[in-house]
Amino acid sequence: MRKTLISFIMLACLPLLALAGCSKNNKIITVGASSTPHALILEECKDYVKNQGYSLDVKVFNDYVLPNYALENEELDANYFQHKPYLEEFNRSNGTHLVPVMDVHFEPMGIYAGKRHSLDGLTSADNILVPSDKSNYERAMVLLSEHGLNNIPVTQVEAQNIPLMLSDCSLAVINGNYALSAGVVDRCLVTEDKDSDIAKKMTNVIAVKNGQEESQKVQVLIRALKQKNIETFIKARFGDSVIYMG
């Protein structure tokens, strides 16, 4: 009985011990990010962060929802995968309290070839895949309208799944990071203008939980992303697919 009681107490204390360990581990900056290009860009920050007395732990997420919940629940110090309109809409819809602290880069959304390899000659029998979340759907419709395709039937699909479905559609509107990670950049027919108002509006940001904007960890991360090597890396690695805005 005594052994059983001791074992029970030890098991009950494990979560508390884990939390205590995390709370003392204040030299690790944990950031949630999409795999491409966000996590790759963050990897380039690690030397600077190390020189500031911290280590950078990059957690890769494959969707647009979990990294915001993780940040709200304080499992992350920051995340890096989204633009401001998506962040604002997520806060409204989910009651989260997340704020942007730095503009980092812009990924031009593009129209990609599916069964069709041109923007010309489409009819009502064609179909175009577009992202299903509100902010990216609206952005996609603006891009289609600019190229006279706003009357072609569209099908809304979760953004990360669109690059996998190009054989099932005439054309597709794809977010830059998903096009990069899926290796379909060479199928791009046209993109948003990098000097347009949409580029400024849709810049990908570092987000933190409200109240953490001036924390030392967040400030170290911001300074790391403002180093010249970050701009150089982005231009060399991604060309016109990712535009540094920091």
Phi and psi at 190, nearest 5°, equal: -165, 150
Greater pLDDT, 7 or 147: 147
Paired residues of 191 in beta bridges: 110
Helix (H/G/I), strand (E/B), else coil: 58: strand
Of 43, 59, 36, 69, which Cα lies nearest the Cα of 163?
36
**153, 83: one domain:** no
**183, 153: one domain:** yes
Tell me the pLDDT tens digit for each residue of 196-239.
888 888 999 999 999 999 999 999 999 999 999 999 999 999 98
pLDDT at 12: 40
pLDDT at 15: 40
Of 170, 104, 159, 107, which Cα lies nearest the Cα of 137?
159
Tell me the pLDDT tens digit for each residue of 75-128.
999 999 999 999 999 999 999 999 999 999 999 999 999 999 999 999 999 999
pLDDT at 21: 38
Q: Name the token pair of 99.
A: 């704020």
Residue 18 has pLDDT above 60, yes or no: no
Tell me the pLDDT tens digit for each residue of 47-74.
999 999 999 999 999 988 999 999 999 9
CATH at residue 140: 3.40.190.10
**86, 116: one domain:** no
pLDDT at 196: 86
DSSP string, 65-127: SHHHHHHHTTS-SEEEEEEHHHHHHHHHHH---EEEEEEEEE---EEEESS--SSTT--TT--
**36, 101: one domain:** yes
Residue 24 has pLDDT above 50, yes or no: no
pTM of the shown model:
0.72
**91, 119: one domain:** no
**31, 103: one domain:** yes
Quickly tell me which residue has 């992303």 as its tokens: 225
Q: What is the mean pLDDT of residues 10-24?
A: 39
Q: Name the token pair of 226.
A: 């403002």
Domain presence at residue 59: yes
Helix (H/G/I), strand (E/B), else coil: 188: strand
Question: Which pLDDT band, with edges at 50, 70 and 90, does 25 fall under?
Answer: low
**129, 144: one domain:** yes
Residue 9 has pLDDT above 90, yes or no: no
**162, 59: one domain:** no
**52, 91: one domain:** yes
Per the structure, the complete domain to which residue 119 belongs is given by: 110-191
**36, 148: one domain:** no
User: 154-157 and 128-131: which strand pairing?
Assistant: parallel
Of 121, 84, 26, 115, which Cα lies nearest the Cα of 245?
84
Domain presence at residue 65: yes
pLDDT at 55: 98
pLDDT at 194: 83
Count structural domains, the chain.
Answer: 2
Domain presence at residue 41: yes
**187, 205: one domain:** no
